[in-house]
Amino acid sequence: MVLWVEGRGTRARARAAGAAAALHASTLSLPGHPPGRAVAAGAGPLPCLPPGAFRAVRAESVHRRGPVNRALRTLLENHRPAAAPLATTLDLYRELQAATPDSLRYLLRDLFETNTYWELGTKQATAKQLQPGTWQVTLAVRARKAVVDSAGGEREVPMHDWVEVGVFAPAEKGEPSGQPLYLRKHRLRSGQQTITVPVKRQPTRAGLDPYHLLIDLQREDNLKDIGS
What are the pLDDT tens digits along the chain (228 aa)?
334 443 333 222 232 233 233 333 333 333 333 344 444 444 555 565 444 333 333 333 233 357 888 888 888 888 877 766 778 888 888 898 888 888 888 988 898 888 999 999 999 999 999 999 999 999 999 999 999 988 889 999 999 999 999 999 998 888 878 999 999 999 999 999 999 999 999 999 999 999 999 999 889 999 999 986
Please give the single-letter amino acid code of residue 218.
Answer: Q
pTM: 0.70
pLDDT at 158: 96
Helix-strand-coil split of the chain, %, nearest 5: 20, 40, 40
What phi and psi values does residue 112 have, to the nearest 5 degrees? Answer: -120, -35
The residues, ordered by sequence, that sit 6+ positions from 184 with a Cβ below 8 Å of its Cβ are 164, 165, 197
Contact 169, 137 (CB under 8 A): no
Contact 190, 158 (CB under 8 A): yes
Domains identified in the chain and CATH numbers: 2-113 (no CATH), 116-225 (2.60.40.10)
pLDDT at 47: 60
The sign of the torsion formed by the CA atoms of 155, 160, 161, 166 equals positive
196 class by beta-carbon count within 10 Å (0-12 exposed, 13-18 middle, 19+ buried): exposed
Each residue of 36-64: b (16+ CB within 10 Å) or e?
A: ebebbbebbbbeebeeebbeebeeeeeeb
pLDDT at 34: 35
